[in-house]
A and B are shown apart, each in its own frame.
Chain A
Amino acid sequence: MNLSSSSVGATQIITVEEARIDAAVAIQFKDRMREVSDGGPARIVLNLRNVDFIDSSGLGAIVAAMKQLEDGRTLDLCALTPNVDKVFRLTRMDTIFGIFDSVDDAVAQSNS
C-alpha cells in the first residue's frame, strides 16, 4: 500500500498511490495512514485521485484512519473519482467527511 505525503502550509496532503482500497489492503492502509500521519499537522487531506475502486472494507479503513487520529486532528478527502464518490454517497459517509474537488480546493479551505 503506497501512500505519499507532502505539506502545504499547515495541511498535510496524503496521496494514495494505488488504484484500489479494498479488503485485500484495508488493514495495510489503516496501518500506513497511522505511520504517515504520526506527528504531522492538525489537518490532513487524503487525496483519492488515483483510486478507482473502493469497497466497504476500504471505506471502513478510511473511517478507522480518521478515528485513530489524536484529538483535535481532522481528516478531509479530495479528488474522489465517480466510483469512490458513489460508495461515500450510498453509505451516507459523505455527510461525515469534508470532501473537496481537488487538492487546491482543500488547501484553499484551510487558508480562508
Chain B
Amino acid sequence: MCDSIPRSLLSLSFQSTSDAVRKTLGRIAQAVADAGQNPTATNNIELAMAEALNNVVEHSFRDRENGQILLSIMLLEDSFRISIRHDGTPMPGLRLPAGKPATIGNEIANLPEGGFGWFLIRSLIIDATYSHRENWNELVLRFSRHPAR
C-alpha cells in the first residue's frame, strides 16, 4: 500500500551551490506539504533545512565547486526524518554546534550579521544527529508532524 509508514518521500542529489539549495528547498517544502504538514510547520522545516544546507555549501564545500549533496526524507509515524549526506569538510571537532543564540547587544555597529543558523535549527527540530565515517558526513534532522486540519 502506498500510504505505508515508514516511507520515502524524497531522495535526490544536487550541487553544492546556493541556487541548487534554493531549488531543493522548494522540493522539500512540496514533499512535506503533500504529506499533510500544515503551512507554518512546512515553513519551519524549509527554514531549518535552508540553514543546514547553506552551512554545507558555505563551510563543507568552501573550497570545492563541484560538491554533491545527497538528501532524503522519510515519513515516520510522528515525524519526518531528513538526512543530508556529503563528502566535504567535516564539522569542526566532529560535533554539532551548540547553537547558542547570537549576542545582540545595543550597538548597531556591533550587531551580528551571522551565527544564527544552528540556533534556528535547534529551535525548529526534535533532534539532530551527526556522524562522520570514511570521509562521508551525515546529518539527520527530525521534525514533528503537524497535520493541516
Residues of chain A at the chain B interface (Cβ within 8 Å): 20, 22-24, 53, 55-57, 59-61, 63-64, 66-67, 82-83, 86-87, 90-93, 95-96
Contact = CB atoms under 8 A, between A and B. Distances in A.
Contacts, number: 71
Interface residues on chain B, size class: 20 to 34
Interface in B22-66: 22, 40, 43-44, 46-47, 50-51, 54, 57-58
B111 A22 contact: no
B12 interface: no
Given A53-B46, A87-B120, A96-B104, A20 B40 contact: no
B104 A93 contact: yes
A95 B105 CA distance: 10
A24 B104 contact: no
Interface centre among A24, A61, A63 (most CB of B within 10 A): A24
Contact of B54 (A57, A67, A83): A57
19 contacts: A20-B22, A22-B18, A23-B18, A23-B22, A23-B54, A24-B22, A55-B47, A57-B54, A60-B112, A60-B116, A63-B111, A66-B108, A66-B111, A86-B43, A90-B119, A91-B101, A91-B120, A92-B104, A96-B104
